[in-house]
Amino acid sequence: MSIAVSDKNSAVTQKRSIGAVLWDYLTTVDHMKVAHLYLFGGAFFFILGGIEAVIIRIQLLVPENDFVSAGFYNEIITMHGTTMIFLAAMPLLLGMMNAIMPLQIGARDVAFPFLNSLGVWLFILGGIMLNMSWFFGGAPDAGWTAYAPLSTTSPGHGVDFYAVGLQIAGAGTLMSGINFLVTIINMRAPGMTYMRMPLFTWTTFITSILILFAFPALTVGLFLLMFDRMFGSAFFDVALGGNTIIWQHLFWIFGHPEVYILILPVFGLFSEIFSTFSKKRLFGYTSMVFATMLIAFLGFMVWAHHMFTVGMGPIANTIFSVATMAIAIPTGIKIFNWLATMWGGNVKINSAMLWALGFIPSFTIGGMTGIMVATVAADYQYHDTYFVIAHFHYTIVGGTVMGIFAGLHYWWPKIFGRVLNETLGKITFWTFFIGFHMTFFIQHFLGLMGMPRRYWVFLENQGLDTGNFISSLGALFMSIGVIVFIYNAIYVWLKGEKAAADPWDGRTLEWTTASPPEHYNWKQTPLIRGLDCLWIEKTEGNGKMTPAEPLKDIHMPNNTIIPFIMTLGFFISGFGFIYQTENKLWYIALFGGMAIALLAMLVRSLQDDVGHYITKEELKGEAK
């Protein structure tokens, strides 16, 4: 029963061997290290998706360009969308939730550390699986929405990789959702009532509910797609009575909640940033919580607004249209609350705050075009044009990605123990912000002029040339911003000073731990006395939290390699699924992989793993 006092810095300070670090991460169940894996994985795929985006914009730089072939273009747009949504945006958010949420509620880890590790490996290997398609005869090419029958009849194995890769990654996400829910309900520190939870924890909670109820619909949709493509079933085969619209429904029953899975967490973290850097309590905390709930609830009622042009009929279209527009109300409440938080506050503008300030107008534009595309009659014009591309990039880039940058600048010290460089941070923001609007604002007009989405070329002299050129130029600026950010991260890692525990004069609990925290987070669980609990202690002159318990032994979970092995099993099995259509020998991989996964599960279930203790004496020994 050894006590791994492996503090996150030891990799640098003690120069542990690469092998030891690798093994540590492969077996870790610590929420902060799992967060690191999510963030590294997410960043990797974000860069990959970014490169794909740049290829798209190069192809559309000039009319009738032949930088890439039509077929390759289809693969690139499909992989760009799929990668960005499932493998970049979501994991980066899950990484921040993993890192920060337990710290905000005063927990030592999440409820199911084992599942946490399993979840991150499923995401990473699922993402690798999807991208393996590049090397095995071509990537999926039916769009990130994979509409049948385009997806069911797409030749080669590309779409198979899509289905299996997302199935694996999606299972991981579902686990995280359950894990966060149970953590927040069962593991809050004494005094941390629901209405004292920081907004980021609240939005993590509600996002997790969305994950829980949205992802299984995707699971089923992907299963049906797999069955049709790999086992000859007829769900989407009209000749045998199948119905292709079922895919669209299942996909969007998942897909619309998914866009709120992407936006709600950043609503939470923006709330924290506005409040911290305005030195004011968040305006309308309660209404923020209820607005989040309302958005989540309505988010499940509106999926068919993606299907107005399918022919559902005027009644259905109207209902979904009105329900969709209703979402603008709680969203508007939030925007005004953020503005009111800054009103009369002692506003300090640094990089994190810049992203937050840039987010408000950007996202508001996305919301406004949202109302426009939600207007059925008009959507017949907008649908499948660049207008929709502009709309959702204003929400996803102007909202989610800016939120991720804001959160990273804000929590970098807590997660990696360094404060990011301000100058570089500002350069990142301005290049990215300007590039973003250059790229996407003009696309509204390209769309209105009739430029369809997902076409690999456009014709000369139809009024589309200048717009596309500007748009591509903007992509260059965004790329520069991202590169500067990466440089910043490496720079502070090598040259930066160790961050203080509370570099921003924060208000919430995460700033009471060391930066980065010990793996048990607190020696003594803190007592929470109100909303913005650290701020309360500061204003009352204590400056630090009162412990809720005497110093005693701390119970921590053990590291384990089983999650990784289990994931490997699913990974191998995935290849079996994909290739058994060609050669029945692949059934060996299919069942062999499954057997590995199930055996790992069995070992997990049968082996007693009761964790270990860090004793009182050891805690005292670590002088602080």
Check: CB of residue 197 under 8 Å from CB of residue 104: yes
Check binding of 249 to another protein (CB under 8 A).
yes
Q: Are strands 554-556 and 612-614 parallel, antiparallel or unpaired?
A: antiparallel
**240 is in the binding site of which of another protein, Cu ion, ligand HEM, none (Cβ under 5 to 8 A by kind)?**
another protein
Cβ-contact 519, 30 below 8 angstroms: yes
The stretch near ligand HEM (CB under 6 A) out of 68-76, 211-219, 371-379, 559-567 is 371-379
Pick what 374 binds: Cu ion, ligand HEM, another protein, none; C-beta below 5 to 8 Å, kind-dependent: ligand HEM
Question: By CB under 6 A, is residue 383 in contact with ligand HEM?
Answer: yes
Angle of helix 70-82 versus helix 113-132 axis, rounded to 10: 170
What residues contact residue 192 under an 8 Å CB cut-off, 6+ apart? 105, 106, 509, 528, 533
Continuous segment of H or E residues that includes residue 555? strand 554-556
User: Does 367 engage in binding with ligand HEM (CB under 6 A)?
Assistant: yes
Q: Is 348 in the site for another protein (CB under 8 A)?
A: no
What does 249 interact with, of ligand HEM, Cu ion, another protein, none (CB < 5 to 8 A by kind)?
Answer: another protein
Angle at 45 (CA atoms; ends 442, 494), nearest 5 degrees: 105
Q: Min. distance of Cβ 271 from ligand HEM in angstroms?
A: 16
400 near ligand HEM (CB under 6 A): yes
Q: How far apart are CA 624 and CA 619, in angstroms?
A: 10
Name the nearest CA neighbour of 316 among 245, 369, 402, 418. 245
Out of 212, 310, 325, 335, point to the residue binding another protein (CB under 8 A): 212
Note whether 584 binds another protein by CB under 8 A: no
CA 451 to chain centre: 30
Q: Which of 247, 274, 392, 405 binds ligand HEM (CB under 6 A)?
A: 392
Task: Using the minimum distance from each CB to Cu ion, give the nearer residue, 380 or 493.
Answer: 380
In whole angstroms, the minimum distance from the beta carbon of 116 to another protein comes to 12
Judged by beta carbon, residue 158 or residue 399, the one nearer ligand HEM is 399
Residue with smaller CB distance to another protein, 84 or 184? 184
How far are the Cα atoms of 157, 448, 542 from residue 164, in angstroms, in the given order?
11, 36, 54
Tell me which residue of 321, 329, 284 sits closest to 304, measured CA to CA.
Answer: 321
Taking residue 314's Cβ as centre, other Cβ atoms within 10 Å add up to 10
DSSP codes joined into one string, 476-507: HHHHHHHHHHHHHHHHHHHHPPBPPS-TT---
Q: What residue is closest to Cu ion based on CB? A: 256
Q: In this structure, are residues 600 and 609 in contact, taking their beta carbons and an 8 Å threshold?
A: no
In terms of CB distance, is 210 or 259 closer to ligand HEM? 259
- DSSP state, 385? B
Residue 468: other Cβ atoms inside 10 A? 22
Least separation in angstroms between residue 295's CB and another protein is 19
Give how far the C-alpha of residue 384 lies from the chain's centroid of Cα atoms, to the nearest Å.
25
CA diameter of the chain: 78
Q: How far is the CB of 484 from ligand HEM (least distance, A)?
A: 25
Contact positions with ligand HEM (CB under 6 A) in 252-271: 259, 262-263
Give how many residues touch ligand HEM by CB under 6 A: 25
- State the minimum distance, in angstroms, from the CB of residue 561 to another protein: 20
CB of 306 to Cu ion, least distance (A): 5
Contacted entry of another protein, ligand HEM, Cu ion, none for residue 198, CB cut-off 5 to 8 Å set by kind: none
Q: Tell which residue, 414, 321, 419, has the closest CA to residue 371.
A: 321
By the rule CB under 8 A, 224 interacts with another protein:
yes
- Residues near another protein (CB under 8 A), total: 48
Chain residues in the site for ligand HEM (CB under 6 A)? 145, 259, 262-263, 305-306, 324, 327-328, 331, 367, 370-371, 373-374, 379, 382-383, 388, 391-392, 395-396, 399-400
Chain residues in the site for another protein (CB under 8 A)? 111-112, 174, 177-179, 181-182, 185-187, 212-217, 219-221, 223-224, 227-228, 231-235, 237, 239-243, 246, 249-250, 253, 555, 602, 605-606, 608, 610-613
